[in-house]
Amino acid sequence: MSIAVEEWPWEPGKSPFRMKGLAYRALVQALAADVTGGVDRVLAELPSDALRAFMRQPFLAASWYDTAPIVPVTQVIAELTGTSFSEYARRRARGQAEDDLKGVYRWILGLASPMAVTQALPRIAGRYFDFGRVQVDKQGDREALVVRSGTPSHLAPWYAEISSEFLRVCLPLSGASDASVDVSLTPADERAHGVPTVVIRYRVTWS
């Protein structure tokens, strides 16, 4: 899952595309188990002092932080663990989803059906990210098309991996069998804060 990206104009911590610190906290906590040498090893491998400074700060679960650093940090961790970028992003997304559904976002499990979970995606996305728009189009009793617009191309491959994996965790817990999430990325004419964006489409089916 890849798409051409332009040079990113912001230093780590400065972009207007933000996510909750919950994800960074979980990532830092996971490093002790995922990487030999833990956080210190990852920090040493990061490509800039600005990125190291960003990752050294304390992350508060409910506060907002620049999303962009998660991309190079995930790439470095993937290389250190001998996995692909996509594989490590999905693995962390699964762990994050399982933890969040037991805690701060356990309300999602109270939704009555796979369709209810799917239709709640705009609300769910807004709890994690402060950019982009999500629309859900019910295609039938067991199928929906989810369209996310306004995601910067720099972030889109990572976002597509983690969000589709989140769905793969949630749907079976809401009663779905044989859940499938097919994802496609298309460059958009829209720009956000001067950078190109991507439309991410998810074809979600279950039985």
The fold adopted by the segment(s) 18-205 is: H-NOX domain (3.90.1520)
Helix H or strand E encompassing 182: strand 180-192
Distances (CA, A) of 75 to 16, 80, 103: 21, 9, 28
Q: How far is CA 131 from its chain centroid?
A: 12
Q: Where are the domains of the chain?
A: 18-205
Question: Whole-model pTM?
Answer: 0.93
Are 149 and 199 in contact, with CB atoms under 8 Å apart? yes
- How much is the pLDDT for 108? 74
- How much is the pLDDT for 179? 94
Per-10-residue mean pLDDT, the chain, length 207: 70 98 94 93 97 97 97 97 97 91 75 86 92 96 97 97 94 91 97 97 97
Query: Number of C-alpha atoms within 13 angstroms, CB side, residue 153?
Result: 19
